[in-house]
Amino acid sequence: MDPKETLCYCFGYTRDDIRREVAATGNSTIPARIVDAIRADCCACVVNHPQGICCLVQVRRAVKEEIEQQAATANAVAR
């Protein structure tokens, strides 16, 4: 997976942004920030996203994958 892959086209969040935040804190606040922006009517997913869809599902999936990846890496190192 490309770390520079844009996941949120409204705010420019990338897979690498998620990776760095999960590495630093064990989780990511990016999905919550996107939800807050949606509630504030500050998103334009239909216009910005190449598929015309909300990015939240993709962002949440990327966070889950990153948490699992980092846990697997930590477990492998611990062995």
Residue 27 in any domain: the answer is: yes
Give domain status of residue 7, yes or no.
Answer: no
Q: Is residue 19 part of a domain?
A: yes
Predicted structure pTM score? 0.89
Q: CA 48 to CA 3: how far, in whole Å? A: 20
- Predicted confidence at residue 76, as pLDDT, reads 80
Structure token digits, residue 54 = 């909300």
Model pLDDT, residue 77: 75
Phi-psi region of 2 (alpha: psi -120 to 50; beta: other; left: phi over 0): beta
5, part of any domain? no
Number of domains forming the structure of the chain: 1
pLDDT tens track for 26-73:
999 999 999 999 999 999 988 999 999 999 999 999 999 999 999 998
Domain that residue 38 falls in: 15-78
The first and second tokens of residue 37, run together, are 């922006």
Q: Is residue 8 part of a domain?
A: no
